[in-house]
């Protein structure tokens, strides 16, 4: 079928071609019409997106790009469609939430109308409600802006760059042995396995939940971290040939009688692997039982400390209870300063002056 040419509502020298495909779908694309040096008519493809086509048309006509083709709403839409799906599931969910917050402020603004002063105002106003959240949203806005520049929406400098962030205070909760033992004593077998694995490997909860028996290769537990994609091999035997505590833990889990054998290291007696939700439920239940028992014993101070314990605090506990160099390698950090600043939650042990 011959393509239909439509130019109504379009700028001069710009046309839209429409074609009905055999599949029943409608194909359409935009073109710039002009003449070459010899005076012969030529058509330059502008793409299928009307806003992108109008920007290219403006460049060819040496005119200012129409402001309504560079609205942040359009850029957010494209980022949500093309960039976010390539991220990890948890990151996708968080980015979509952050994007919803950013849209309320920036959706109707042309990209070049956003200045560092406007970004700073957003930081201050949003920071009164959630200082850390505002920082994460600005980081996302910065990435959106960089992608928009690659896509041709702007040639300007990133207005987020150079704008200082809200001051953040890293979480400093330390789960000492009293807190650990209290929760561990009320934990189900699969929760104990998860706690032990998290402590002995120093890995994030998501990385612990996905550990499988197939990950044990050549005397080591192989880990690929979700967040950084970094590979680690955590040895199951020491240099003296004796089993490490991690190796002993895996032997104990493997030797436990189960109704159904699971592919995953952390699973219920029925062979069902734990996920983020079931881990949280089990941990919350054990923590509450431990706090209630301590309260009944009159130990309110420890009960309150137990209630502040979160599963994510196990990774800093692991980092705090070994030397800094080993902790940095175990956690998969390339910079020991990150381990020291964010994850080490006990001070250095020193002697007094005398």
Instruction: Sketch the domain layout of the chain as residue ranges.
Output: 4-65, 72-151, 177-343
Query: What pLDDT score was predicted for residue 218?
Result: 93
Query: What pLDDT score was predicted for residue 331?
Result: 93
Query: What pLDDT score was predicted for residue 134?
Result: 95
DSSP string, 28-97: EEEEEEEE-TTS-EEEEEEES-HHHHHHHHHHHTT-PPPGGGSBHHHHHHHHHHHTGGGS-HHHHHHHHH
- Using the predicted structure, report yes or no on whether residue 2 has a pLDDT greater than 70: no
Query: What pLDDT score was predicted for residue 6?
Result: 64
- Contact present, 234 and 329 (Cβ < 8 Å): no
**Backbone torsion region of residue 202, taken as left when φ is above 0, otherwise alpha when ψ lies between -120 and 50, otherwise beta:** left
Question: And the tokens for 270?
Answer: 């029925």
The fourth-level CATH superfamily of domain 177-343 is Intergrase catalytic core (1.10.443.10)
- Using the predicted structure, report yes or no on whether residue 207 has a pLDDT greater than 50: yes
For residue 92, give every residue at least 6 positions away whose Cβ sits within 8 Å of its Cβ, in sequence order, or none. Answer: 84, 85
Residues, the chain, total?
354
Rounded distance, CA 247 to CA 151, Å?
50
What's the pTM value of the predicted model, to 2 decimals? 0.71
For residue 62, give every residue at least 6 positions away whose Cβ sits within 8 Å of its Cβ, in sequence order, or none. Answer: none
Average pLDDT (81-92) is 91
Nearest CA among 111, 50, 41, 52 for reference residue 76:
111
pLDDT in tens, 296-317: 999 999 999 999 999 999 999 9
Query: What pLDDT score was predicted for residue 37?
Result: 76
Confidence of residue 5 (pLDDT cuts 50, 70, 90): low
Higher pLDDT, 213 or 26: 213
Rounded distance, CA 328 to CA 198, Å?
15
Query: What pLDDT score was predicted for residue 329?
Result: 93
Long-range CB contacts (< 8 A, 24+ apart) of 317-324? 317/174, 317/175, 317/180, 317/199, 317/345, 318/198, 318/199, 318/200, 318/201, 318/202, 319/202, 319/343, 319/344, 319/345, 320/174, 320/344, 320/345, 320/346, 321/346
Q: Can you say how many angstroms the Cα of residue 123 is from the centroid of all Cα atoms in its chain?
A: 21
- Using the predicted structure, report yes or no on whether residue 182 has a pLDDT greater than 90: yes
State how beta strands 220-224 and 231-235 pair: antiparallel
Query: What pLDDT score was predicted for residue 1?
Result: 46
Q: Is 150 helix (H, G, I), strand (E, B) or coil?
A: helix
Please report which helix (H) or strand (E) contains residue 15, including its range. Answer: strand 14-20
- Dihedral pair phi/psi, residue 344, rounded to 5°: -80, 115
Confidence of residue 332 (pLDDT cuts 50, 70, 90): very high
pLDDT exceeding 70 applies to what percent of the chain? 96
CB atoms within 10 A of CB 48: 12
Query: What pLDDT score was predicted for residue 40?
Result: 84
> Which residue in this structure is represented by tokens 């109707």?
108
Confidence of residue 7 (pLDDT cuts 50, 70, 90): low
- Using the predicted structure, report yes or no on whether residue 33 has a pLDDT greater than 90: no
Greatest Cα pair distance in the chain: 96
Confidence of residue 60 (pLDDT cuts 50, 70, 90): confident
> Which residue in this structure is represented by tokens 């080993």?
326
Question: And the tokens for 35?
Answer: 């003449």
For residue 20, give every residue at least 6 positions away whose Cβ sits within 8 Å of its Cβ, in sequence order, or none. Answer: 1, 26, 27
- Using the predicted structure, report yes or no on whether residue 57 has a pLDDT greater than 90: no
């Amino acid at each position: 079928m011959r393509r239909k040419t439509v130019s109504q509502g379009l700028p001069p020298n710009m046309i839209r071609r429409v074609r009905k495909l055999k599949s029943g779908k409608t194909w359409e694309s935009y073109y710039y019409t002009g003449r070459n040096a010899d005076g012969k008519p030529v058509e330059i493809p502008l793409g299928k997106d009307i806003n992108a086509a109008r920007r290219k048309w403006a460049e060819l006509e040496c005119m200012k790009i129409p402001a309504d083709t560079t609205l942040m709403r359009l850029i957010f839409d494209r980022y949500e469609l093309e960039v976010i799906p390539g991220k990890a599931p948890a990151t996708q969910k968080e980015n979509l939430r952050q994007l919803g917050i950013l849209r309320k402020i920036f959706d109707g603004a042309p990209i070049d109308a956003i200045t560092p002063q406007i970004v700073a105002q957003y930081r201050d106003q949003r920071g009164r409600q959630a200082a850390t959240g505002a920082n994460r949203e600005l980081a996302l806005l910065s990435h959106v802006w960089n992608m928009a520049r690659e896509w041709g929406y702007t040639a300007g400098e990133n207005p987020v760059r150079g704008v200082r962030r809200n001051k953040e205070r890293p979480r400093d909760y330390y789960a000492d042995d009293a807190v650990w033992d209290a929760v561990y004593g009320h934990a189900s077998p699969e929760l104990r396995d998860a706690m032990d694995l998290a402590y002995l490997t120093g890995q994030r909860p998501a990385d612990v939940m996905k550990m499988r028996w197939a990950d044990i290769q050549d005397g080591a537990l192989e880990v690929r971290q979700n967040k950084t994609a970094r590979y680690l091999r955590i040895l199951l035997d020491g240099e003296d040939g004796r089993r490490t505590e991690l190796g002993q833990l895996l032997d104990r889990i493997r030797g436990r009688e189960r109704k159904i054998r699971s592919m995953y290291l952390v699973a219920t007696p029925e062979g069902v692997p734990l996920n983020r939700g079931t881990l949280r439920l089990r941990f919350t239940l054990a923590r509450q039982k431990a706090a209630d028992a301590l309260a009944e014993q009159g130990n309110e101070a420890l009960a309150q400390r137990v209630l502040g314990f979160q599963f994510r605090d196990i990774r800093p506990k692991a980092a705090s209870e070994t030397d800094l160099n080993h902790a940095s390698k175990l956690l998969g950090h390339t910079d020991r300063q990150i381990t020291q600043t964010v994850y080490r939650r006990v001070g250095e042990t020193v002697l007094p002056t005398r």
